[in-house]
Amino acid sequence: MRHFLRDDDLTPAEQAEVLELAATMKSAPFEHRPLEGPQTVAMVFDKPTLRTQASFAAGVAELGGFPMVVDGRLAGIGERESVADVARILGRQASVIAWRTFAQADLEQMAEHSGVPVVNALTDDFHPCQLLADLMTIREHKPELAGLTATFFGDGACNMGNSWLLAGATAGMHVRISAPEGYTPPQEVFDRAREIGEQTGGTATWVEDPREAAEGSDVVITDTWVSMGKEEEAAARTEVFAPYAVTQALFETAKPDAIAMHCLPAYRGKEIAAEVLDGIQSVVWDEAENRRHAQKAVLAWLLAKAGAGE
């Protein structure tokens, strides 16, 4: 059974297939009904959400299914009941489980015991649904993904930094992480991205100096400096990441036709200047919309694989 727990769960060819399906679904949003029945998709949230809940719910409805929201705090997953037991229970009610939680290891346990495909709706380590939406968005603005330089500024050690390395390398992109020492993605994620890049032509580098990193970038990306679960470190993080803020001056160091990306929620004046986020080269609202189309595609793709016994 196939799951989507991290970006490299899709091979380069599979990622391209899912992105193509997402574009097809966007052009005809009501014409694909693999969840007709309706089949249920369980969406489980242990952390705050807006885009993920809204885009999964709308997307599942468009696919003909029923989006069932499970409040992780009420369920007490891992406390009131083990992850394995929750997986067995939800797997008897739903055709797919999408889970937003803390530990990647818990998500892996869910996948091991659910008997249905499991989708990572964000963990501390990866945010692969966001990356599918981001790659889809870039494809709408640039002729092709392979060969583009995408630079992520700020907290390189968060889920978005890791996911950019894996998904970007899978797409054959040159991914730069511009972050202070101590806030770079783990070595194993760099190693995995470089291994993928050997097949795709993609590269993965850490460029500590933000101006140097911005030069020649086609895509300028940032994310909050204080990811969910890191709230207690907010003051220290605001100081250490300040030189990595995507200001208008830093953005202008990138290519003249660069696009600005942010998975949102954004904090204007902190990790990104309002003039960049709200400027004409920003594609953040497209990214938010494309969550729906990209997730529809991955759900349909996983269900087709499960139906084929793969």
Binding site for ligand NVA (CB under 6 A): 127, 158-160, 223-224, 227-228, 263
**Shortest reach from residue 224's CB to ligand NVA, in Å:** 5
**Annotated catalytic residue: which of 237, 262, 291, 293?**
291
Q: What share of the chain is helix, strand, coil (3-state, %, to 5)?
A: 50, 15, 35
**Shortest reach from residue 146's CB to ligand NVA, in Å:** 26
| CB closer to ligand NVA, 95 vs 159 | 159
| CB closer to ligand NVA, 159 vs 170 | 159
For this structure, is 88 an active site residue?
no
**Annotated catalytic residue: which of 8, 223, 237, 293?**
223
| CB closer to ligand NVA, 158 vs 259 | 158
Q: Across-strand partners of 176?
A: 151, 205
**Shortest reach from residue 100's CB to ligand NVA, in Å:** 9
For this structure, is 100 an active site residue?
yes
- How far apart (Å, rounded) are the C-alpha atoms in residues 190 and 211? 21
For this structure, is 158 an active site residue?
no
CB 205 within 8 A of CB 234: no
Supply the Cα-derived Rg of the chain in whole angstroms.
Answer: 19
For this structure, is 263 an active site residue?
yes
CB 134 within 8 A of CB 190: no
Structure tokens at 251: 């953005």
Nearest alpha carbon to residue 288 among 32, 118, 50, 57: 50
| CB closer to ligand NVA, 134 vs 223 | 223
Query: Which residue number is nearest to ligand NVA in terms of Cβ?
Result: 227
For this structure, is 130 an active site residue?
yes
Nearest alpha carbon to residue 167 among 141, 208, 143, 139: 139
Q: Which residues are catalytic?
A: 100, 127, 130, 223, 263, 291
